[in-house]
Structure 1
Amino acid sequence: MRNFKTIAIALLVAFGTTVATAQTKKVDVAKTKISWVGKKVTGAHEGTVSLKEGNLVFNGKKLTGGTFTVDMNSIQVTDLKADQGKEKLEGHLKADDFFGTEKFPTAKLNFTKVAAKQNGLYTVTADLTLKGITKPITFDITVNGNKATSALKIDRTKYDIKYGSGSFFDSLGDKAINDEFELAVELAF
Structure 2
Amino acid sequence: MKSWISKTAIAIAMLVALPVLAHADVWQIDPAHTNVEFTVRHMMISNVKGQFQKTSGTITTNGNDPASAKIDVTIDSSSVDTRVEKRDAHLKSPAFLDVDKFPTITFKSTKVEAAGPGKWKVTGDLTLHGVTKPVVLDVEGTGTPITDPMGNTRAGVSATTKINRSDFGLTWNQPLEAGGVLVGDEVAISIDVEAIKK
Bin of the TM-score, shorter chain as denominator length? 0.7 to 0.9
- Aligned twin of 1:153: 162
Alignment of 1:103-182 (within 5 A): 103-143=101-141, 144=143, 145=145, 146-164=155-173, 173-182=179-188
Alignment of 1:46-125 (within 5 A): 46-63=49-66, 64-78=69-83, 86-125=84-123
Cα distance in 2, alignment partners of residues 119 and 60 from structure 1: 18
Give the drift of 1:175.
2.9
- Aligned twin of 2:20: 18
RMSD: 2.4
- Aligned twin of 1:27: 29
After superposition, the Cα gap between the structure-2 partners of 1:77 and 1:16, relative to the gap in structure 1 and judged at 3 Å, is same
Structure 2: where are the runs of 5+ without partners?
A: 146-154
Structure 1: where are the runs of 5+ without partners?
A: 79-85
Q: Secondary structure at the match of 1:48?
A: strand
1:153–1:183 Cα contact (<8 Å) kept: yes
After superposition, the Cα gap between the structure-2 partners of 1:90 and 1:56, relative to the gap in structure 1 and judged at 3 Å, is same
1:127–1:137 Cα contact (<8 Å) kept: yes
Cα distance in 2, alignment partners of residues 161 and 172 from structure 1: 23
1:72–1:105 Cα contact (<8 Å) kept: yes
After superposition, the Cα gap between the structure-2 partners of 1:10 and 1:98, relative to the gap in structure 1 and judged at 3 Å, is same
Q: What amino acid maps onto 1:43 in structure 2? A: S
TM-score (norm 2): 0.80
After superposition, the Cα gap between the structure-2 partners of 1:4 and 1:75, relative to the gap in structure 1 and judged at 3 Å, is closer
After superposition, the Cα gap between the structure-2 partners of 1:106 and 1:3, relative to the gap in structure 1 and judged at 3 Å, is closer
Cα distance in 1, alignment partners of residues 88 and 5 from structure 2: 65
Give the drift of 1:124.
0.9
Cα distance in 2, alignment partners of residues 12 and 87 from structure 1: 54
Give the aligned length: 179
- Aligned: 1:185 with 2:194: no
